[in-house]
Amino acid sequence: MLNDKNTNIQTLKDLLIDFRNKRDWKQFHDPKNLAEAISIEAGELQELFLWKDKKDISKEIKNSSKFKEKVGEELADIIIFCLNFANSTDLDVSAIIEDKIKKAEKKYSVEKAKGNAKKYTELEKI
């Protein structure tokens, strides 16, 4: 069984390509449709939390296996579509994440950003 400790991103991308190709879905996996699918699935994840208090959500995830499963399914849909998007655009997920973190480190210095949720443009004023 796959888990985060024994599976790399390329393995997941290859698994999704195989799944897609067996169903002849490559024709539908263009960047536009995949970007829309990511947004739609993110909305479905948000819907699970709508009108609920943060504390209640934390308890429900911890205590309700059914709710945790629903959250996991929506998160999986988002990740699947993100990996499909990466496949369709030939983006290396690890490389783009590392690059984004390097850029974020410059925008959000530890000294100014630690414990602060302000956007980097507001941190500059501190």
CA distance linking residue 125 with residue 94, whole number of Å: 32
CATH of 9-91, one of 3.40.190.150, 1.10.3720.10, 1.10.287.1080, 1.10.10.60: 1.10.287.1080
- Quote the pLDDT of residue 59: 96
**For the chain, which residues make up each domain, given as ranges?**
9-91, 92-126
pLDDT at 125 over 80: no
Q: What are the pLDDT digits (tens) for 23-33? A: 999 999 999 99
CB-CB contact of 26 with 84 (8 Å): no
Q: Which pLDDT band, with edges at 50, 70 and 90, does 123 fall under?
A: confident
Name the token pair of 44: 């479905």
Say if residues 88 and 78 touch (Cβ distance below 8 Å): no
Reported as a single tens digit per residue, the pLDDT across 29-60 is 999 999 999 999 999 999 999 999 999 999 99
Note the pLDDT tens digit of each residue in 73-120.
Answer: 999 999 999 999 999 999 999 999 999 999 999 999 999 899 989 998
